[in-house]
Amino acid sequence: MEHRKDKGKDNENPTGEGRLAGKIAVVTGAGSGIGRAAAVLMSRQGARVVVADYDERGARETAELVVAAGGRALPVTVDVTDEGSVAAMVDAAVGEYGALHVLCNHVGGTDLRKDLDLLRMYMDKFGRTVDRNVRSTLWGARYAVPHMIRAGGGSIINTASVAALVGDVLQTSYDAVKAAVVSITKSIAVQYGPQNVRCNAIAPGAVMTPGLKQNLPVDVIDSLKRGNALAVPGHSEGHRTYHDVPRLRRVPLSDRPTPGRGRRHDHAVLRRAGTARHASRVAGAEGR
Ligand SMILES: NC(=O)c1ccc[n+]([C@@H]2O[C@H](COP(=O)([O-])OP(=O)(O)OC[C@H]3O[C@@H](n4cnc5c(N)ncnc54)[C@H](O)[C@@H]3O)[C@@H](O)[C@H]2O)c1
């Protein structure tokens, strides 16, 4: 299973240093949580990183973490729901570093207090959830792909969720938009795979990021902990932390081609972390 495979690789080379040497990566939502962990990890692996977030201070702090660890980072303030702002983010990356090879479309989420079951969900908030998760994914890819083709190839990593794959008693909007992210991922992979631009999505389970902690009542956090069957050794709370999630990007980030590339479903490897229930199914899909 994925988790075990990762662990084995960690033993050989804990940071995967050098794997991304010479690559330029843009990470959106990198001002905190999973995005911050991804930016730091990619830098340790040799990439020059554009740390993009609408929280200017968060972006600056992440960039400082990268630089303090010996890497190179450019903090950029962006609103990924705004086309012009996304275009400016990509321009800033290419202007500073001369190319773009990796885009991590990270920003997403929902208002968990208003995204409820079908009858109680706040319909007027649905458009905002689409903007945050779907439009942001599309804008990022639209502006990044031409630069990746110019660079001879690249990798886009979108952030879906377990919510895209299973039914849920709440967060009806979030389930829908994350399913859309999966679908967009497959289309981009099929459309630009021939030009060596890969597109994959990760689908984490509950990850205790600052955003999630702020958003969730304590009893829901407790129920999430119980629901996450795949406990991570070393994490006593029994769920993944945001430092674990970026490791799932190893296959998408590798320059090594996915076996069977060119076939529709092999491009969009869905990586699901969080519960054991679906891990075997996903492992089976990857083997196809
Ligand atoms: N935390 C989880 O349990 C979990 C589970 C599955 C999937 N995900 C997905 O992972 C991604 C990151 O989640 P997280 O928990 O790290 O989130 P978070 O709320 O902790 O961090 C999100 C970051 O994005 C930034 N941001 C928000 N809106 C933005 C915008 N319009 N433009 C630019 N930056 C913006 C925020 O300032 C913040 O730094 C999301 O797509 C989320 O749906 C999270």
The residue to mutate among 62, 76, 107, having the most atoms of ligand 1 within 8 angstroms of its beta carbon, is 107
- Nearest to residue 31, comparing CAs of 160, 209, 201? 209
**Alpha helix (H) ranges present in the chain?**
2-12, 33-44, 56-68, 83-97, 126-130, 136-150, 172-192, 210-215, 218-227, 250-253, 264-267, 276-287
Contact 16, 9 (CB under 8 A): yes
Position 205 scores a pLDDT of: 85
Position 255 scores a pLDDT of: 63
- Residue 137, token pair as written in the block: 């994914």
Note down pLDDT in tens along the chain; length 288 residues.
333 444 444 344 555 678 899 999 999 999 999 999 999 999 999 999 999 999 999 999 999 999 999 999 999 999 999 999 999 999 999 999 999 999 999 999 999 899 999 999 999 999 999 999 999 999 999 999 999 999 999 999 999 999 999 988 999 999 999 999 999 999 999 999 999 999 999 999 888 777 777 777 676 666 666 665 554 433 444 445 555 566 555 556 656 544 334 333 333 333 333 333 332 232 222 222
Position 89 scores a pLDDT of: 98
DSSP β-ladder status, 102-105 and 154-159: parallel
pTM: predicted TM-score of the whole model, two decimal places: 0.81
Q: How far apart are CA 85 and CA 254, in angstroms?
A: 29
Does ligand 1 have an atom closer than 6 angstroms to the CB of 61?
no
Orientation angle between helical segments 172-192 and 136-150, nearest 10 degrees: 20
Specify the residue with its C-alpha closest to ligand 1, atom 24: 29
Position 5 scores a pLDDT of: 43
Does ligand 1 have an atom closer than 6 angstroms to the CB of 107?
yes
Residues 6+ apart with CB under 8 A from 284: none
- In CATH terms, the fold of domain 2-287 is Rossmann fold (3.40.50)
Does ligand 1 have an atom closer than 6 angstroms to the CB of 155?
no
How many other β-carbons are positioned within 10 Å of the β-carbon of residue 251? 17
Cα separations (Å) of 228 from 169, 212, 241, 279?
16, 15, 12, 12
Specify the residue with its C-alpha closest to ligand 1, atom 8: 161
Contact 151, 100 (CB under 8 A): yes
Helix, strand, coil proportions of the chain in percent (round to 5)? Answer: 50, 15, 35
Contact 101, 151 (CB under 8 A): yes
Domain boundaries, the chain: 2-287
Looking up tokens 């089976």, which residue turns up?
284
Active-site residue flag, 54? no
